[in-house]
């Protein structure tokens, strides 16, 4: 049984970083939603959102530096997963708008949903493409 050479090499922790970013926004979203319909304190959710963005940027920079990566496979998987998660994020955003969430809270939720819509497709596409032939 042969193993692809690329499967044996070390790759940066892109999947871990994007999954941790997702975890940050999920926890922040739960904190915000737990206060509904009252206004939520935004200090902790904002800190988690900033951390999530830093993790995503780090993951994307590390991803862009992988030599011999299967970009066509990554792109094909990422596009379809992104479509699905943008639709889901849009439905969640609609629920918050429909429930009369306004101002800074809605802005915070929207920023969290961007990470939600990007992190999962990135994780799925990276995990698949890292084992594909370049």
Q: How many domains does the chain have?
A: 1
Please write the tens of the pLDDT for every residue from 50-98: 999 999 999 999 999 998 899 999 999 999 999 999 999 999 999 989 9
| Residue 42 within any structural domain of the chain | yes
Q: What pLDDT is recorded for position 35?
A: 87
pLDDT value for 7? 52
- Look at residue 91 in the predicted model and tell me its pLDDT: 97
Domain that holds residue 104: 12-129
pLDDT (average), residues 125-134 = 90
- Rounded Cα–Cα distance for residues 56 and 47 (Å): 14
Residue linked to tokens 């979203």: 29
pLDDT in tens, 9-56: 688 999 999 999 999 999 999 999 898 778 889 999 999 999 999 999
Confidence of residue 2 (pLDDT cuts 50, 70, 90): very low
pLDDT at 5: 39
Position 134 pLDDT exceeds 80 = no
Q: Is 51 a member of any domain?
A: yes
Res 3: pLDDT: 44
């Amino acid at each position: 049984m042969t193993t692809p050479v690329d499967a044996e090499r070390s790759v940066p922790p892109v999947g871990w970083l994007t999954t941790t970013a997702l975890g940050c926004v999920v926890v922040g979203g739960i904190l915000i939603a737990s206060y509904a319909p009252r206004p939520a304190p935004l200090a902790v959710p904002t800190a988690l959102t900033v951390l999530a963005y830093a993790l995503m940027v780090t993951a994307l920079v590390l991803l862009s530096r992988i030599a011999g990566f299967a970009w066509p496979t990554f792109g094909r998987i990422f596009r379809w997963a992104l479509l699905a998660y943008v639709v889901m994020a849009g439905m969640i955003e609609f629920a918050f708008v429909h429930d009369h969430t306004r101002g800074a809270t809605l802005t915070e939720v929207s920023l969290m949903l961007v990470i939600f819509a990007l992190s999962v497709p990135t994780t799925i596409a990276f995990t698949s493409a890292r084992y594909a032939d370049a």
